[in-house]
Structure 1
Amino acid sequence: MPADPDDTLASVRHSVLRVGVSPDGSLVQADGDDPSGSVVDLVDGFADHLDAEPEWTVGSEETLVGMLERGDLDLIAGGITSDTPWLERAGVSRGYSDIDGADGRTLVMLVPLGENAFLSELESYLDDEVGS
C-alpha cells in the first residue's frame, strides 16, 4: 500500500486541495477569480472525489514547483508534459494524452515528492476519467 510521509491524501480529504496552475491554451485559462479549462475540470472532479474544495494559485511552473517543495501546494496541473524538467523536485503522475486540448502532448501532474498514496489516488482518478 503506498504511503504519504507527509499525509497529503489524509490532509486533503474532506478539506482543501491546494492547486497550482499555469495558463496554457484551452487546458488552463486564468481570466477570472477561478481558472477554467479541461485540466481545471479534471482537478475539480478530483477535488470532488476527495470531498475537498480546490484552492487555486496561478503562476509560472518554476514558482509553483518552489511552492510545492515548501508544502504550500498539494498538486500542480496544466500543460506539463512527460518530459518535464521537474522530475527531481516533484512526484510525477503517469502521462495522459487523451485530455481535451493536449494537442498530441502527453500531460502529467506534479505532487510533492514521496507522497505516493496521494499520487496513486490521483492516477486512479485520471485513469477512470481519461484513460491511461
Structure 2
Amino acid sequence: MAVLLTGCGITMPTDPYGSLEHATGGTLRVGISPNGNLTVADDGEYSGKEVELIRGFAESIDAEIEWTVGSEEALVRGLEKQQLDVVIAGMTDQTPWAERAAPTRPYMKTKADDGSILNLVMLVPMGENALLSELETYLDTQREDA
C-alpha cells in the first residue's frame, strides 16, 4: 500500500490544515491551562515541565511560541477551530478531551496525590497527523518522569 501511495504522490502522515508546515520556521500556537508544576502561567511568564518540553519542540522546528492561556475546554475549542496547534495542561491518557482532540502517546509518568501513576499526554487538532508524529518523535527523545 505504501508503494501505491508513494506512486500517487501522497506522503504520510499528512496535516489537512497544515499545522506542522505553518509552525515550522514560523509560529507554534500553544494553549496552556495551569496545572501544578507541569504547566504554570503567571502574568505572561510560563514555566513547568511541559512548558520546557514544548519550548524544546518549538526550537526543534525553528518556531516561535504564541501562548494562549485558558481552561481546557476553551483550549480544546481552539484546537477544533484550528486556532491552536498544541494544548498542554498536565492531561493524562484518560482525558475526556480525546473525543475532540488527538492526544500524543503518553510521554511522561507522574504520581497523583493518591499515589497512583498517571501517564501524561498533550493534545493536537484531530487529523493533524504530521504535527502529531513530529511532536511524538520529539517527546520520545525527552522521556523522563515528573
Common fold: TM-score over 0.5: yes
Query: Would you say the 8 A contact 1:34–1:56 is kept in 2?
Result: no
Correspondences of 1:84-95 after superposition (within 5 Å): 84-95=95-106
Judging by fraction of residues, say which structure has more strand. Answer: 2
Unaligned runs of 5+ in 1: none
Residue identity in the other structure for 1:3: T
Q: Could you tell me how far 1:96 is from its partner in structure 2?
A: 2.0
Equivalenced residues, count: 128
The structure with the largest alpha-carbon Rg is: 2
Match of 1:125 in 2: 138
Find the partner of 1:24 among 16, 21, 35: 35
Q: Which aligned runs of 4 or more in structure 1 are off by greater than 2 angstroms? A: none
Pairwise CA RMSD? 1.1
Larger relative contact order, structure 1 or 2 (CA cutoff 8 Å, min sep 6) = 1
2:30 partner SS: strand
1:67 pairs with one of 54, 78, 89: 78
Match of 1:8 among 3, 19, 22: 19
- 1:96-111 correspondence runs (5 A): 96-98=107-109, 102-103=110-111, 104-111=117-124
Residue 82 (structure 1) aligns with: 93
Report if aligned partners of 2:72, 2:89 keep a CA contact under 8 Å in 1: no
**Is residue 29–residue 36 contact of structure 1 (8 Å, CA) maintained in 2?**
yes
TM-score, L = length of structure 1:
0.92
Aligned letter for 1:105? L
Structure 2: stretches of 5+ with no match in the other structure: 1-11, 112-116
Identity %: 52
AA of the residue aligned to 1:117: A
Q: Aligned letter for 1:126?
A: L
| CA offset digits 1:9-28 (Å, max 9, x no partner) | 11110000000011111101
